[in-house]
Structure 1
Amino acid sequence: MSIFSSPRFLRNVLLADAASCLATGAAQTLLGEPLAELLRLPPALLSGTGLFLLAYALVVGLVATREPVSRPMVGLFIAGNFAWGAACIALLAGSWVMPGALGQAWVAAQAATVLVLGELQWLGLRRATPAGWA
């Protein structure tokens, strides 16, 4: 059986999303000042988005562990991931912050991660059977 056809595929992708947001959110919240200096990003941006990511991780984790998985919530997560990716790209393309090379890599890694997770969630949503949906 392919990993993509597994009945747990979407749940696993949601858990990966929650874990990545938890790790990033914790780093940005707990290490805000030193990370801001290292990345040359505003501390308020890092701590604000870090707190958001922690809350988001909690919600995604709760949805991923409930039976059945809420189809509307997964749709919201997909939209949120694509919006986060677009915001990361806009931050890098804009001129209101000037991150250093590591900051650019940090933001680009977030963009790549959420875009891949959003695409995998979309794939999982399309392949999931209606019986497991709320």
Structure 2
Amino acid sequence: MRVSEQIPATATATSDALLRFVLKADAVVTGVNGIAYLVLAGVLTDVLGYPVSVQRWVGAFLTVFAIGVGVIATRPVVSRAAVRVLIAVNVVWVLLSVVVLGTGAVEATTLGQVWMAAQAAVVAAFAAIQAYALKPR
């Protein structure tokens, strides 16, 4: 990895600490969500209305994604390129959530729709804070 693709030594400690904090928070929230979809799929179907198969696929993706985010967050040097990829994936998640909500592509109860919108808002916040913390100061 090139030095220019890493957080530069001149970046403030606050910026690095914020980036690591938001990455770790993203990993934990995403991991808990993914594991919940995997383990509680039957129960959540009754509450959220999402089909079990959708929950399992989404749960598997979120769990793997969370592990990746956690690894990136705990590396000795945070890769700027890897964080950009994470931000892009988060933005795609938000856009897909909006499309799914708008089209009704996935069955959902009213609570399920609210939950989907809330997840998208949290993911958008993670992406925005990650982008802010990534900027050199």
- Of 37, 60, 70 in structure 1, the residue corresponding to residue 79 of structure 2 is 70
Q: Kindly report structure 1 stretches of 4+ aligned residues shifted beyond 3 Å.
A: 4-7
Residues 95 and 105 from structure 1, CA distance in 2 versus in 1: closer, same or farther, beyond 3 angstroms? closer
Match of 2:54 in 1: 45
Aligned residue type for 2:85: L
TM-score, length-normalised on structure 2?
A: 0.86
Deviation at residue 116 of structure 1 after TM alignment: 0.4
Native 8 Å contact 1:38 1:102 kept in 2? yes
> Percent same amino acid among aligned pairs?
36
Match of 2:66 in 1: 57
User: In 2, Cα distance between the equivalents of 1:9 and 1:30?
Assistant: 31
- Structure 2: state its 5+ residue gaps: 1-12
- Of 66, 82, 91 in structure 1, the residue corresponding to residue 100 of structure 2 is 91
Match of 2:109 in 1: 100
Aligned residue type for 1:79: A
Aligned residue pairs: how many? 125
User: In 1, Cα distance between the equivalents of 2:135 and 2:75?
Assistant: 19
User: In 2, Cα distance between the equivalents of 1:118 and 1:57?
Assistant: 14
Deviation at residue 8 of structure 1 after TM alignment: 0.5
- Of 20, 27, 30 in structure 1, the residue corresponding to residue 36 of structure 2 is 27
Aligned residue type for 2:116: V
TM-score, length-normalised on structure 1?
A: 0.88
Match of 2:7 in 1: none
User: In 2, Cα distance between the equivalents of 1:7 and 1:59?
Assistant: 18
User: In 2, Cα distance between the equivalents of 1:83 and 1:115?
Assistant: 10
- Any idea what the Cα deviations from partners look like across 1:10-35, whole Å, max 9, x if unmatched? 00010011011111001101001110
- Structure 1: state its 5+ residue gaps: 129-134
User: In 1, Cα distance between the equivalents of 2:90 and 2:38?
Assistant: 20
Say whether residues 1:10 and 2:25 are aligned partners.
no
